[in-house]
Chain A
Amino acid sequence: MSTTATALNSGPKTAMRRQALVLTGLFSAASAMLMGSMLAIWLQFRANAPLRESSDGSKMLRDWLPENIKIPEVATNTMMMTIVVTCIMAQWAIYSSRRSDSNHTSLALGVVLLTAIAMINAQIAVYMQMNIGVRDSSYTMMFYSITATMTALMVIGLGFTLLVMFRSFASRVSDHDLILAHAVYWYSLTVIFAAMWLVVYVQK
């Protein structure tokens, strides 16, 4: 048995305008809010940490970063420079894509992939060099939380790069919007990482 009723038509098919770009913009905003809130809580804890004398007794310090913890600055500064390189490569992919140059588009995306892997590798190296446990103190617990969240965002970026790269390998050079969205995501990650790098690794 069947009955027939009328319902409102969804309308003619419309041209999708930069869907990937808009979605990436929204996701980037969400990522920024996520890391922004984590940094805000980090700063709040740091500002409320009790005062203590420095080891040489010359000045008073906030008792936030335990004295036995040394942040490997070479690795963290290299990460900051690497993510800037990632942005440049992502922009190169846009440049090549606009000229329908699939070889250079793929090459640029390949370099983005490598630098993204290098970033994640550097983060693991930082963990290994610091050799601290999550349970050691409030600082270490929050350090792992914030840096692991940042790394998770980079892994998402890595997946995005893989997706765009495979489409490029398949000669879908007309994916300008997707490649642009990919670059926008890495730009936003760079800004977010720069903020985290400054607060967590530089100001400590």
Chain B
Amino acid sequence: MTAVETISPTSSGAGILGVVSEWLMTTSHRRIGRLLVASSVFWMLIVVLVGTLLSVERISSTTDLVDPTSTTQLFSFFRVGLIFGVMAPMTLGIALAVVPMQIGSQVLAFARAALFGVYLWIFGMVIVGVAYIGNGGPGGGDPQMVDLFLVGMALVIAGLIVVSASIATTVLTSRRAGMTLIDAPIFVWSSLITSISLILTLPVMAGALIYVAVDHSYTRATFGATEGVNAWIGWALTSPQIFLLAISTLGVLAQIVGTMTRGKQPLRGGLFVGIGLMSTALVGTVTQSFYALQLDGELSDIAKSLVPFLFYNALPILGVLIVLGLCLLAMKNEKAKPSAAFVPAFFGVAMVSTGMLGNALLRINNLKLSNTVFEEAVLVYVGYGVILSSLGAIAYFGPRIWGRKMPTMPVIGLGLLGTLGIVLAALPYYIAGFTDQPASRTTGSLGDNSQIWNSVAALGQAIFLLVIVAFVGLVVKSSRDGEIANDEIFETAQANV
């Protein structure tokens, strides 16, 4: 362990400017990671606020919180912001901060490149945000702002690829002597899989984006002008791409359970297999294939559609179930010591798996759930599940970084409240999907009992927003005034769990 001096800015010789410049030019993996996580928390608050606004707007056709012409842009922003502004950077930020110390490395591989990637992402997201404000998202009315949106997305993608490459290189090259990949902590493995998945999928999106951007700048004919943006990059804003960003939730849960059971994890290799199986979503992502199950017709026809359906939709779910099952098996150990971070981490994975199951239903053509709010519920379950799991990761890894404990009961309480918020925000849309409530619409005929479902969903979104605000406050408070952590919390951080 290392003594960490927490020095107030007034006592520093360099002053506040020195502290700021130290942070902005840092090569410390902890600081780069925290910079990325903090920036993504900013977007998290905005995205969940937009989600809440949209849910309230949906309660009744007469509600007029948002300008009707802006709703399409807000629905698009919610999706883009949640995936590229929150899920991806939050996952990678935690990995940046934690992975080097877990593998016993002092430094991050290509730390300056990683910092550059973080800045690319920050500037890219600012540009994307400005483009949305100027009505320039996919399908937007201002062509110049749409051009700006495409540039912003390119920067975001480039930044995330650079950060992912730095994490993957660190894991592959900088492990302490004698540590093989199988010996590495399970969170490291999940971070490696996530990073490589992003390195392989984001360039595919970039390729489509280049065509769309050139077409939009010059001809606006071949790729469908502003409406074409969603048609060509929309696959990256839905499943199975979002499942790749949820891989690390399994790593967080397995890591916490490993600590709770002091490394007594039965069938540890199964965890690696489970996480690997979840990454098979990669195949569906890069081929942009959404194999649906058709239950009509001859048995042979059903079987023909069943095989690819199971491969593309059921294998990732199987991976999650394997990890969940093994973690619960490990918890049967009598000596297991409870951890507050387990609550948000476990329920985060539970929410993600609920979203994945919903996605499998979505791909059954006979249920006719496409283009209904059911699709949005899948995104909310998976996206908010990743956020909840990330809160668990911060509660678990945070004290190991800043050396102060987080209080147990508030973390458990916020974890449970967050779970309630997600269920209330998403489950009504699962139900409303079966009553044909249309997706991305706030006016017109919204289906049977839509007011009830939309009211409950709005309540869920509001609860989740409050949970995030409260958690941020808790982190700030405990990192400054929290009880100083004892040696116990460090025992298993680098252990083979």
Q: A residues within 8 Å of B by Cβ?
A: 1-19, 22-23, 26-27, 29-31, 33-38, 41, 45, 134-135, 138, 141-142, 144-145, 149
Look across to chain A and name the residue whose beta carbon is closest to the beta carbon of B206: A34
Distance between Cα atoms of A38 and B168 in the complex (Å): 25
Look across to chain A and name the residue whose beta carbon is closest to the beta carbon of B176: A14
Among B205, B206, B487, the most chain A Cβ lie within 10 Å of the Cβ of B206
Measured CB to CB, the closest approach of chain B to A37, in angstroms, equals: 3
Q: Which residues of chain B come closer than 8 Å to A4, judged between CB atoms?
A: 3-6, 484
Q: Which of B15-23, B105-113, B342-350, B406-414 contacts A (4 or more CB under 8 A)?
A: B105-113
Distance between Cα atoms of A19 and B5 in the complex (Å): 31
Q: Which residues of chain B come closer than 8 Å to A33, judged between CB atoms?
A: 199-201, 203-204, 207, 286
Once the chains bind, are B207 and A7 in contact (CB under 8 Å)? no
Pick the residue among B101, B104, B201, B485 that contacts A5 (CB under 8 A).
B485
Q: Which residues of chain B come closer than 8 Å to A11, judged between CB atoms?
A: 101, 104-106, 176, 494
Interface residues of B in 390-415 (CB under 8 A from A): 400-404
Once the chains bind, are B7 and A2 in contact (CB under 8 Å)? yes
Q: Which residues of chain B come closer than 8 Å to A144, judged between CB atoms?
A: 214
Look across to chain A and name the residue whose beta carbon is closest to the beta carbon of B222: A138
Distance between Cα atoms of A3 and B11 in the complex (Å): 12
B72 is an interface residue with CB less than 8 A from chain A:
no
Q: Which residues of chain A come closer than 8 Å to B205, judged between CB atoms?
A: 37
Q: Which residues of chain A come closer than 8 Å to B169, judged between CB atoms?
A: 19, 22-23, 26
B299 is an interface residue with CB less than 8 A from chain A:
no
Q: Which residues of chain B come closer than 8 Å to A2, judged between CB atoms?
A: 5-8, 11
B: number of interface residues (CB 8 Å): 59
Once the chains bind, are A141 and B6 in contact (CB under 8 Å)? no
Measured CB to CB, the closest approach of chain B to A2, in angstroms, equals: 5
Given contacts A10-B101, A33-B286, contact A41 B174 (CB under 8 A): no
Given contacts A2-B8, A5-B404, A8-B1, contact A145 B214 (CB under 8 A): yes
Once the chains bind, are B174 and A17 in contact (CB under 8 Å)? yes
Distance between Cα atoms of A101 and B29 in the complex (Å): 37
Pick the residue among A18, A27, A34 that contacts B207 (CB under 8 A).
A34
Measured CB to CB, the closest approach of chain B to A56, in angstroms, equals: 29
Pick the residue among B2, B29, B165, B203 that contacts A6 (CB under 8 A).
B2
Q: Which residues of chain A come closer than 8 Å to B173, judged between CB atoms?
A: 16-19, 22
Q: Which residues of chain B come closer than 8 Å to A134, judged between CB atoms?
A: 214, 218-219
Measured CB to CB, the closest approach of chain B to A159, in angstroms, equals: 14
Once the chains bind, are B165 and A27 in contact (CB under 8 Å)? yes
B31 is an interface residue with CB less than 8 A from chain A:
no
Secondary structure dominating the interface of B: helix
Q: B residues within 8 Å of A by Cβ?
A: 1-8, 11, 29, 100-101, 104-107, 109-110, 161, 165, 168-169, 172-177, 196, 199-208, 210-211, 214-215, 218-219, 221-222, 286, 400-404, 484-485, 487, 490, 493-494
Q: Which residues of chain B come closer than 8 Å to A41, judged between CB atoms?
A: 207-208, 211
Once the chains bind, are B106 and A26 in contact (CB under 8 Å)? no
Pick the residue among B107, B109, B207 that contacts A23 (CB under 8 A).
B109
Look across to chain A and name the residue whose beta carbon is closest to the beta carbon of B3: A4
Given contacts A26-B169, A134-B218, contact A37 B6 (CB under 8 A): no
For this complex, 20 residue pairs linking A to B, each with C-beta atoms less than 8 Å apart, are: A4-B3, A5-B484, A8-B400, A11-B101, A11-B104, A13-B106, A13-B107, A18-B173, A22-B172, A23-B109, A31-B203, A33-B199, A34-B203, A34-B207, A37-B208, A37-B286, A41-B208, A134-B218, A134-B219, A149-B207
Q: Which residues of chain A come closer than 8 Å to B215, judged between CB atoms?
A: 141
Once the chains bind, are B493 and A8 in contact (CB under 8 Å)? yes
Q: Which residues of chain A come closer than 8 Å to B202, judged between CB atoms?
A: 30
Once the chains bind, are B199 and A29 in contact (CB under 8 Å)? yes
Once the chains bind, are B175 and A14 in contact (CB under 8 Å)? yes
Q: Which residues of chain A come closer than 8 Å to B219, judged between CB atoms?
A: 134-135, 138, 141
Distance between Cα atoms of A23 and B171 in the complex (Å): 11
Measured CB to CB, the closest approach of chain B to A31, in angstroms, equals: 7
Look across to chain B and name the residue whose beta carbon is closest to the beta carbon of A152: B210
Once the chains bind, are A135 and B210 in contact (CB under 8 Å)? no
Once the chains bind, are A19 and B210 in contact (CB under 8 Å)? no
Distance between Cα atoms of A4 and B161 in the complex (Å): 36
Measured CB to CB, the closest approach of chain B to A196, in angstroms, equals: 12
Distance between Cα atoms of A27 and B109 in the complex (Å): 14
